[in-house]
Amino acid sequence: MAGPEPVIPARDAPMGRDVRLKGVHGTVGLPIPGTPPLLEVQKLVKRYDRGVVAVDDVSFQIAAGESLGLVGESGSGKSTISRLVCRLIDASEGQILFDGQSIGDQPSRSFHASPVRKDIQIVFQDPTESLNPRFSAFECVAHPLRRLLNMKDGAALTARVRECATRTGLPLDLLERFPHQLSGGQKARVGIARAIACRPRLLILDEPTAALDVSVQAIILQLLDGLRRQDGLSLLFVSHDLNVVRMMCERIVVLRLGRIVEIGSNDTIFREAQDPYTRALIDAVLNISDPRQN
Ligand SMILES: Nc1ncnc2c1ncn2[C@@H]1O[C@H](COP(=O)(O)OP(=O)(O)OP(=O)(O)O)[C@@H](O)[C@H]1O
Ligand SMILES: [Mg+2]
């Protein structure tokens, strides 16, 4: 979906196309030699029924504190990889290691009992679909705390939910509302508050702003970048939009038909991409950014 170039507004700056958040492309998260990556995916394959190979021999790593972008056209396997990594679905082949420990062998239906379940959280593309319509915003955020951290109802649980709401800019008086009583941007904040509630180490963002208006997109991207920096989170940031990934990530994986066609640092991909498919994605971004090139 083509749209105007999203921007991340500086906190006190007025919205504008050329306003950028300084430091997004820092060296945060580059692997420290000798330390294992936080996430390592090796030769991952996912075959669905009727011979659909959605993910085909995919390998990549994410260091602690690093933000890795996953881009590709619709159907290239981005969501399937996201679901495999957070263990909502089982791989057909390959390994997933988290903090050096294999998590890919454990069946997805029992992964909720794994001690690392709380460390890997996901924000889904469509906040409306991913929030339980029968849960208030408070309940949406409290649910993983009860289930994964075994927190009981009481002052500590309430304080944690309120802290997450505050960190994601959700007014506290909205916590009693149900999803249908919230705007798209407010629902997105609930989805992010829920994902950070257990203080994960890896946050998977599957097109977290695709359903949002451009101005709200920019605010949510700013929010995510701030959370990441404050908490030293690692991100797997999925988007079909290379511009968004360029702003949010240090390295980029380009996927096509379930396979990696290119992987490299943000700057390298934009300057030196070899693959014609990657070049086409970049050219599309540049043409959208600068209408004079059209
Ligand atoms: N449950 C499923 N059963 C069968 N095929 C599936 C299933 N889920 C996804 N697929 C197929 O796997 C491929 C990859 O789908 P996936 O949702 O991972 O793509 P995507 O890159 O996230 O696309 P989009 O940008 O549209 O969200 C597609 O061909 C899709 O039709
Ligand atoms: Mg998808």
pLDDT of residue 288: 61
Q: Which of 47, 52, 89, 261 to mutate to test the pocket of ligand 1 (most atoms within 8 A of CB)?
A: 52
> Of 112-121, 245-254, 266-275, which gets the smallest average pLDDT?
266-275
Sorting pLDDT into bands at 50, 70 and 90, what band is 38? very high
Domain boundaries, the chain: 39-293
- State how far the alpha carbon of 68 is from the alpha carbons of 65, 109, 220, in Å: 10, 27, 18
pLDDT of residue 27: 35
Q: Which ligand is nearest to the CA of 258?
A: 1
Sorting pLDDT into bands at 50, 70 and 90, what band is 32? low
Which residue carries 């968004």 as its tokens? 244
In the predicted model, is pLDDT for residue 21 greater than 70? Answer: no
Cα 46 to averaged position of ligand 2 atoms, centre (Å) = 14
Closest-lying ligand 1 atom to the alpha carbon of residue 82 = 18
294 lines ligand 1 (CB under 6 A): no
Q: Average pLDDT over the chain, rounded to whole?
A: 85
For the record, the structure tokens of 81 come out as 């990889």
User: For ligand 1, atom 29, which residue shows the shortest CA distance?
Assistant: 75
77 lines ligand 1 (CB under 6 A): yes
Closest-lying ligand 1 atom to the alpha carbon of residue 77 = 18
- Is CATH 3.40.50.300 the classification given to domain 39-293? yes
> Of 19-33, 124-138, 153-167, 173-187, which gets the smallest average pLDDT?
19-33
User: For ligand 1, atom 1, which residue shows the shortest CA distance?
Assistant: 48
72 lines ligand 1 (CB under 6 A): yes
pTM for the model: 0.86
pLDDT digits over 93-151, tens only? Answer: 999 999 999 999 889 999 988 999 999 999 998 888 889 999 999 999 999 999 999 99
